[in-house]
Structure 1
């Protein structure tokens, strides 16, 4: 009865638009009170414990690094480079969109940041070259889901909090799945744009390849620094975040000279606000997850899945359906902090590697990020493109099928996620 009451309370709080961080905290404290443990000191202690994590130090640093690079104008350099490389093929600017999204994914670590930054550049460009606005918007947010899958990933840092998994191993595990998503998007774009006219370049325009390459290479080194440094044992993932932030500042402030002092102040202010927002969600979600643990909910969920699913194939199918629904209704950070501690013990019981399971969870939630009714990316791109969510959602349908195909491959071909961590010696 208490579980039903708490569930109803959470639904009510979300329905009346109480911020999810506070709603989760209220429900967790109400649950403790119903269990006879309603001491505010316990709540305060668990909320603080949720934030007291060394891995979380990477969060503000990755946010600052990504924001500095975006404010420093790296997007235009990446788009110009991608346009020179693939812009001449049929549907070239759509391919540029995918390629730019892939390159930006190794810079920002945030799907929403990529959507906002790239959408402002790519949607007007594609509209000017004859693409529909809805197609441009749908393609942009479909490519943006690669950001939390490729390193450096803010979501992977958060995922490491309740699971205590290696951030470096997750970084390595996300590389091939992200490339798979990019490849499938390219194949669909080639089909969808097969009748789109080619862009004819004037003589001498290809001379810009070397110039754009020189401009883009320093940016493309960002993920190499993170992955290479962690893989080579030069620094931990948290230290890599500090190195990346310093590199971003050096790159935009000294090499490109595109980041002014005023812009830096604005970036630091925005990064602080973003970090504070995420940390509040992390704190209350960790408190809620602790409450679920003392109520033995993870074990009950494990027993339920063992009773329903006959084998690993069925279990993963059920998990995918469940997480796709969750991703449509709950933001990524609270979804991870609330549901992963419940689901991971069941996954381990079915023989699913925790690193592989992490990639499955993240890909599912990223698909949900583009799906109504809560899809954050959908709201962002609708505002940028000045189109209704319904119109963009209709254009998203074929891309949704592409992402489901990628999800199926990632789910049932575990070596796609585990091969790089395995050869890197990062798997236990």
Structure 2
């Protein structure tokens, strides 16, 4: 019966059904054939979303959208351009730096690509950068977002397994910075080789003025992280604080946000959040079926039969997640696979916090991996170029991301140092 579930799921994906519907329809087909009462559908869907910490996801999505409409994102981009615009390829470097800063609020790669890309990709094209490169830089740098805290993917991983959200946020900080810095280095190398544009150096006064303009946007990240790690509020409460903060700054500090724009943001955020919650609900039902079919035990036994070496187990899991990430959306892949693979990792003594960071980083790379890399499609749409040309331009960035993944996999201290430091 398990093959009916998995086979129908693959078929529906092949027919280009939205992944939430592919999950739901394959589950429904299984339940009908297995003669299981359909009452389990609403029961399992509700139990999947009836988790307090998941309420933070709509909040962070709304905070990111309010930042875009309220002018906070634009301030971040301007500040980064002031800092690095005088370096060869400075606009491309500013693109990545803005993603690293924006990552601390949005928590999702796709929102990063769409918001920063809508500003930076046309600007880079006007400056003389070729469109595929501009799109590739934007898509690749957006994957830093779900690693640097706060991160929607980390919240979901914590929800599925009972891990500490605060510890996962801390664990993602160094790997996220490492990924961002490596992309900056590669971009600088390519920009020098291709002789991309360079701007005049900004004066200290201009940089200082830009910093003070950006101060309120940067302060949001500090407030969120300090509040969660310091125990002043939960991730869910932090997301509401972020919404209120972004709303007040957009309305009264930058004055770019209006009541009409805020209402549009609320509506768009509700649509995005509702779609995500439906996905989580169906994925919980799908996971329940996998459990009653004992697939987690089969996968665990299969991997452990091959090897009990922790590094080889991580290598096998990385290969699996890279493959899955090429055609499955990140959150859906986490919901279905993370609990199963975490059990395998813990069987061989791998720290669950370390494994969570490796899994999330791995699936983020999938967002820029053909054929389904969602961020590639979003960036290509903004840049009005073909997905094939963007994928080719993004290949060096993909290799660099895989190198960072290898380092994070082989050296657990990169993930565990900060959580252990604050635990003491």
1:335-359 superposed Cα distances (whole Å, 9 cap, x missing partner): 1111112111001111111111111
Counterpart pick for 1:237 among 210, 216, 235: 235
Q: Name the CA distance, whole Å, in 2 between partners of 1:298 and 1:156.
A: 21
Who is 2:10 aligned against?
Answer: 11
Counterparts of residues 207-226 of structure 1 (less than 5 Å): 207-226=205-224
Partner of 2:263: 265
CA distance in 2, matches of 1:23, 1:125: 38
- The verdict on how the C-alpha distance between 1:250 and 1:301 changes in structure 2, with shifts beyond 3 A counting, is same
Match of 1:190 in 2: 188
The answer to whether the 8 Å contact 1:146/1:178 transfers is yes
Pairwise mapping of residues 101-112 of structure 1 onto structure 2 (< 5 A)?
101-112=99-110
Query: Cα offset for 1:16?
Result: 2.4
List aligned pairs for 1:261-340, cutoff 5 A.
261-340=259-338
1:381 aligns with 379
CA-based RMSD of the aligned residues comes to 1.6
Distance 2:187 2:376 in 1: 20
Matches within 5 A, 1:358-373: 358-373=356-371
Per-residue CA deviation, residues 257-276 of structure 1 (Å, 9 max, x unaligned), is 11001100000000000000
Given that residues 107 and 219 in structure 1 are in contact (C-alpha distance below 8 angstroms), is that contact kept between their aligned partners in structure 2?
A: no
Aligned residues: 423
User: 2:68, 2:74 within 8 Å by CA — same for their partners in 1?
Assistant: no
> Deviations along 1:24-52, whole A, 9 cap, x unmatched?
1232243344444x111122211111111
How far apart, in 2, do the equivalents of 1:16 and 1:192 lie?
Answer: 38
CA distance in 2, matches of 1:271, 1:291: 30
Matches within 5 A, 1:47-196: 47-195=45-193, 196=195
Which whole-Å deviations, capped at 9, do the CAs of 1:75-105 have from their partners, x for residues lacking one?
2211111111111112222211111111111
* 3-state SS of 1:40 partner: coil
SS in 1 for 2:159: helix
Worse overlay, 191-200 or 3-12: 191-200
Task: Determine whether 1:24 maps to 2:23.
Answer: yes
Query: Within 2, Cα distance between the matches of 1:216 and 1:225?
Result: 15
Checking the alignment, whether the CA contact within 8 Å between 1:151 and 1:226 is kept in structure 2 is no
The structure-2 alpha-carbon separation of the partners of 1:31 and 1:220, relative to structure 1 and needing over 3 Å to count, comes to same
CA distance in 2, matches of 1:282, 1:152: 19
CA distance in 2, matches of 1:275, 1:291: 25
Q: TM-score normalized by structure 1?
A: 0.95
- Please say if residues 68 and 267 of structure 1, whose CA atoms lie closer than 8 Å, have aligned partners that are also in contact: yes
TM-score relative to the length of structure 2 = 0.96
Query: Which residue matches 1:404?
Result: 402
Aligned CA distance change for structure 1 residues 200 and 282 (closer, same or farther; 3 Å): closer
Q: CA separation in 1, counterparts of 2:82 and 2:231?
A: 36
- In the TM superposition, residue 190 of structure 1 has moved relative to its aligned partner by 2.2
Distance 1:98 1:23 in 2: 34
Alpha-carbon offset, residue 19 of structure 1 = 2.5
Contact 2:20 2:279 in 1 (8 A): yes
- Unaligned 5+ residue runs, structure 2? none
Contact 1:162/1:286, CA 8 A, preserved across alignment: no
Contact kept in structure 2, 1:169 and 1:355, CA below 8 Å = yes
Deviations 1:146-195 (A, max 9, x none): 11111121112222232121111111111101100011112112211224
- In the alignment, the residues of structure 2 paired with residue 325 and residue 162 of structure 1 have an alpha-carbon distance, to the nearest angstrom, of 22
Task: Please state whether the residue corresponding to 1:329 is helix, strand or coil.
Answer: coil
Q: Would you say the 8 A contact 1:88–1:198 is kept in 2?
A: no
